[in-house]
Amino acid sequence: MGSQTELGRMAGAFDEMLDAVEGAEGRAVAAEARVRDFVLEAAHELRTPLAGVQASAEALLLGRPEREEQERLLAGVVRESQRAGRLADDLLLMARIDRGVELERRPVDLHDLAEDVAASAAGRPGAAVTVGTAHGPALVEADPDRVTQVLTNLVDNARRAAGPDGRVHLDVGPGGRVVVADDGPGVPRADRERIFERLVRLDEARSRDRGGAGLGLPIARGLARAHGGELRLLDTGTGAAFELTLP
């Protein structure tokens, strides 16, 4: 049947429609599988701190421990409760990002935000944090709280990677660009995009001990994209360098 006839064109259009439906169905099935996996992983992450809370509470109720042991168990309840609360907050924020997080944009200087994040980090033990100031003001229209959240996440990750004797540097450039670099071991090439997936941790034991659940980088990238910007890992050869760009 000729494709130029009316019937032929109708048949071609019908085939295209079927292909589109099959493609949409496949994407829907894949999306459903990703959601199911994410829910299972999130439930697993929540079980860990909740199990800790339950074990400590049961020991307090049934064991009649001495005062020193009571204080240790109570501290464990507080610590694990905080871990569960942080994870719940991250999951809620991830859901808001998926739906379209609301931003309160106003003119902000990225230098000021970077300096504030560095000053906050200076009050905690760990790698030293410095800020480059050679480029002058870097004004953007952005939500300062959300950008601060992104930079804080990147700096905290970099300080953990660099270790107590390492260094972390924030380089603020014109055009809404901030690079957070550390002198740690870096990220294996095969994992450079994987680290932005939800609930992915390259160092399972260390991340869990520190309360991380593998949502920090996905949230940071989600907030960057909500601004119309991007967050990516640069190929620097040494350490790790994350580049945040805002329009």
3-state per-residue secondary structure call for the chain = CCCCCHHHHHHHHHHHHHHHHHHHHHHHHHHHHHHHHHHHHHHHHHHHHHHHHHHHHHHHHHHCCCHHHHHHHHHHHHHHHHHHHHHHHHHHHHHHHHHCCCCCCEEEEHHHHHHHHHHHHHCCCCCEEEEECCCCCCEEEECHHHHHHHHHHHHHHHHHHHCCCCEEEEEEECCCEEEEEECCCCCCHHHCCHHHCCCCCCCHHHHHHCCCCCCHHHHHHHHHHHCCCEEEECCCCCCEEEEEECC
Alpha-carbon distance of 96 to 185, in angstroms, equals: 33
Q: Out of 58-62, 101-105, 166-170, 223-227, pick the least confident.
A: 58-62
Please answer whether residues 245 and 229 qualify as being in contact, where contact means their C-beta atoms are separated by less than 8 angstroms.
Answer: yes
Average pLDDT for the chain: 80
- Bigger pLDDT: 116 vs 14: 116
pTM of this prediction? 0.70
pLDDT confidence bin for 173, thresholds 50/70/90: confident
Percent of the chain with pLDDT strictly greater than 70: 75
